[in-house]
Structure formats: structure tokens, C-alpha cells
């Protein structure tokens, strides 16, 4: 059984400066919820109940978001704002949230290794990176857990990326067709291959289901690309022992770790909200010419 989701949130969020100077990037709102809330809701929606935040100095507001806030609750209750009160309280009940500090930014592999005191050595767990956002009703993580329970090996989420320059921003797998449609056997991985050298067009995105043994492997994994302990390198060791599973994403995903992806994710999430969607889409229709003019008319390259 996979019980725990490890969510690294220790990064400095430099791609969103100056917004992230005093506010953790995980708390930047998409519509009216901070990015991290979507991740925790995805964990819960897929049947996991325990979240381990791997956090860092200056980021304790993330934990506060999932705690009770009695003064706020009292103020909302006094004003009869029952719906807001229920929403604020529900956040503290959403999942069991734990936090551990990563004292130094030594890489994603090192952040995952911080889970060693929390999960048992033989206990499988999930890892979710908040920069990758799936739709709120996504069951992809649950499918990854099922594939892990069926095969017993690590499972990574994969995205087909055509553009070699974009592909170079990810871990990329070498793979063969797998047991089922949409699945591949991964026998090797390369962290951020130079353009033109990637072993395939299948990029690892931020969803992993890992056997507890990965922690033992991470302990012995030396710093790799960028001098950081890379999760990709530990997966490489596992895949060399026995191929691991890649599950190819077949649903929308937003790269909320970069500005354009953050904006398009906001639009996509707002569009499906009954209280906002119709008005937002009507506004976009009515203002498209003005938006195009503001963009200097050069909108042909949009993704
Ligand atoms: C990390 C991983 C990389 C993976 C990516 C997914 O990179 O190291 O293998 O493809 O997440 O988002 P980062 O984005 O932290 O540089």
C-alpha cells in the first residue's frame, strides 16, 4: 500500500522573483487557492492520506496553510460567513501533513532522501513536484500506484516533448514498449540531456511512485548534474537492476513552474469553475483583439 506522498517545497522559486522574495512560490495563488493546495488535493483524491512536505527556512507559511487559524475562524463565524469558515477549516482536515527540513539545497534526490525518517525502509511512497499541475479530478497518480503494485518497480510519469530545447529541461528516459498501452519499460535515464542527445522524446514529469529501496540507493548516489544529488541518478541505478515503468501522460498537465504555464494553468482552472468560467471566457472573446494588440500582434508562436 502506498500511504505517503513526499512533496519537496524547499526551492527558492527564483523564476518568479520578485513575487517569491517574501512569499513561497508554492503559495502563489491560481485563482483563489495556492499552488500547493492543488497538489495536496490531488494526493487525497488518489487515495493517499499522508503528506510529507520537505521544506526549508523561510517557508513555514506553507504549513500554516494546512493548520487551523482560530482567530480567522472566529471572525468568519461572527460574520456568519459559513461557507468561508467551512472551507478554511476543511484545509486542516484535508490530509495528515508532516514537514521535515532540508537544511541545504543539495538537489531533488537529497530532498527525497529527507523522507528516510518518515517512511519505512521497505515502504513505497509517492513524490509529487508542485511545478507540474494536473487537473483537480485527475486519477493519474492512482494509476501510477496501481502500476507499481502490479509490477513492484518504480513508476515515473512521462510526457512526450517534441521540442529538443524543451526536452533538455527534463530527465529523459530510454525505453521500450511496456506491458500495457501507454506504459513503457524504462532501462535508462539522462538528467537534462543537451539538445540533440536525448535518448527519446519521453520526459519525466513530477510524479513518481518509488519503492523504499530508492532511499538506500540515494544514500550512495554521488552528486551529479549541477553538483546536486539527482533523483534521476538513483532511478538510473534502479532501472539498471531491473527496468522500471513509465506511464505516459494522456491528460492535461500545466507547467506551473514557469510564467506562461502558470498563467495558462490559471485560465484552465478558472474556466472550469461555474462561478468564473463563463464570464472569463466571454471576457477573453470580447477582448481578444485588444489582447493581440497588446502582444504586438505577434501571437503566431503560442503553444
Ligand atoms: C526535476 C527532475 C527532472 C524532471 C523534472 C520534472 O527537475 O530533476 O528529472 O524531469 O523535475 O519537472 P527540475 O525541474 O527540478 O529542474
Per DSSP, the residues of 247-280 read EE--S-EEETTSHHHHHHHHHHHHHT-TTTHHHH
Which tens digits make up the pLDDT trace of 233-292? 999 999 999 999 999 999 999 999 999 999 999 999 999 999 999 999 999 999 999 999
Does 65 map to a domain?
Answer: yes
Does 74 map to a domain?
Answer: yes
| Cell numbers at 68, concatenated | 487551523
Q: How confident is the model at residue 133 (pLDDT cuts 50, 70, 90)?
A: very high
Q: How confident is the model at residue 303 (pLDDT cuts 50, 70, 90)?
A: very low
Does 201 map to a domain?
Answer: yes
What CATH code is carried by the domain that includes residue 133? Answer: 3.90.550.10
Q: Quick check: helix, strand or coil at residue 200?
A: coil
Of 225 and 300, the one with more pLDDT = 225
Please state, for a pLDDT cut of 90, what percent of the chain lies above it.
96
Is-contact 185 177, C-beta < 8 A? yes
The closest alpha carbon to 229, from 8, 57, 39, 61, belongs to: 8
For position 297, what pLDDT does the model report?
A: 73
Distant-in-sequence, close-in-space partners of 178: CB < 8 Å, separation ≥ 6: 184, 185, 245, 246
Whether residue 302 is predicted with pLDDT greater than 60 in this model: the reply is no
Q: What is the distance in A from the centroid of ligand 1 to the CA of 232?
A: 8
Distant-in-sequence, close-in-space partners of 74: CB < 8 Å, separation ≥ 6: none
Does 302 map to a domain?
Answer: no
Report the C-alpha gap between 79 and 85 in whole angstroms: 10
Which residue minimizes the CA distance to atom 9 of ligand 1? 171
| Cell numbers at 274, concatenated | 461555474
Number of domains in the chain: 1
Does 12 map to a domain?
Answer: yes
Which residue minimizes the CA distance to atom 14 of ligand 1? 170
Tell me the CA end-to-end span of the chain in Å, nearest whole number.
Answer: 39
Domain hosting residue 156, numbered range: 4-296
Pocket of ligand 1 (CB under 6 A): 108, 129, 131-132, 170-171, 191, 203-206, 230-232
Whether residue 301 is predicted with pLDDT greater than 60 in this model: the reply is no
Does 23 map to a domain?
Answer: yes
Whether residue 152 is predicted with pLDDT greater than 90 in this model: the reply is yes
Is-contact 200 173, C-beta < 8 A? yes
Report the C-alpha gap between 60 and 40 in whole angstroms: 16
Pocket test for ligand 1, best of 206, 225, 232 (most atoms within 8 A of CB): 206
The b/e string for 32-57 (b: 16+ C-beta within 10 A; e otherwise) is ebbbbbbbbbbbeebebebbbbbbbe
**H or E element at residue 165:** helix 164-167
Q: What is the distance in A from the centroid of ligand 1 to the CA of 270?
A: 26
Which tens digits make up the pLDDT trace of 88-108? 999 999 999 999 999 999 999
DSSP 220-239: TPPP-GGGS--HHHHHHHHH
The closest alpha carbon to 203, from 136, 260, 157, 243, belongs to: 157
- Is residue 118 classed exposed, middle or buried when 0-12, 13-18 and 19+ CB atoms within 10 A define those classes? middle
The closest alpha carbon to 147, from 179, 123, 188, belongs to: 179
Does 173 map to a domain?
Answer: yes
Does 303 map to a domain?
Answer: no
Whether the model pTM is above 0.85: yes
Which tens digits make up the pLDDT trace of 202-243? 999 999 999 999 999 999 999 999 999 999 999 999 999 999
Amino acid at each position: 500500500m502506498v500511504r505517503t506522498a513526499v512533496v519537496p517545497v524547499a526551492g527558492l522559486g527564483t523564476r518568479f522573483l520578485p513575487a517569491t522574495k517574501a512569499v513561497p512560490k508554492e503559495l502563489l495563488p491560481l485563482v483563489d487557492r495556492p499552488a500547493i493546495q492543488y497538489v495536496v488535493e490531488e494526493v487525497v483524491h488518489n487515495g493517499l492520506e499522508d503528506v510529507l512536505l520537505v521544506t526549508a527556512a523561510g517557508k513555514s507559511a506553507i504549513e500554516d496553510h494546512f493548520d487551523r487559524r482560530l482567530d480567522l475562524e472566529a471572525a468568519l463565524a461572527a460574520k456568519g460567513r459559513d461557507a468561508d469558515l467551512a472551507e478554511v477549516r476543511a484545509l486542516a482536515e484535508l490530509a495528515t501533513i508532516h514537514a521535515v527540513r532540508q537544511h541545504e539545497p543539495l538537489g531533488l534526490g537529497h530532498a527525497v532522501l529527507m523522507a528516510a525518517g518518515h517512511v519505512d525502509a521497505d515502504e513505497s511512497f509517492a513524490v509529487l513536484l508542485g511545478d507540474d499541475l494536473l487537473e483537480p479530478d485527475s486519477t493519474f497518480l492512482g494509476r501510477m500506484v496501481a502500476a507499481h503494485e502490479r509490477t513492484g518497480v518504480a513508476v515515473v510519469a512521462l510526457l512526450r516533448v517534441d521540442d529538443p530545447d524543451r526536452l533538455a529541461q527534463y530527465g529523459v528516459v530510454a525505453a521500450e514498449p511496456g506491458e500495457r498501452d501507454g506504459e513503457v519499460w524504462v532501462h535508462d535515464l539522462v538528467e537534462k540531456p543537451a539538445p540533440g542527445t536525448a535518448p527519446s522524446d519521453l520526459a519525466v514529469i513530477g510524479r513518481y511512485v518509488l519503492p523504499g529501496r530508492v532511499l538506500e540507493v540515494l544514500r550512495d548516489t554521488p552528486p551529479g548534474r549541477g553538483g546536486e544529488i539527482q533523483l534521476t541518478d538513483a532511478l538510473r541505478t534502479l532501472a539498471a537492476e531491473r527496468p522500471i515503468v513509465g506511464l505516459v501522460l494522456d491528460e492535461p498537465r500545466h507547467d506551473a513552474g514557469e510564467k506562461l504555464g502558470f498563467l495558462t494553468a490559471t485560465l484552465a482552472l478558472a474556466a472550469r469553475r461555474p462561478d468564473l468560467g463563463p464570464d472569463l471566457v466571454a471576457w477573453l472573446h470580447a477582448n481578444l483583439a485588444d489582447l493581440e494588440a497588446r502582444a504586438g500582434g505577434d501571437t503566431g508562436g503560442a503553444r
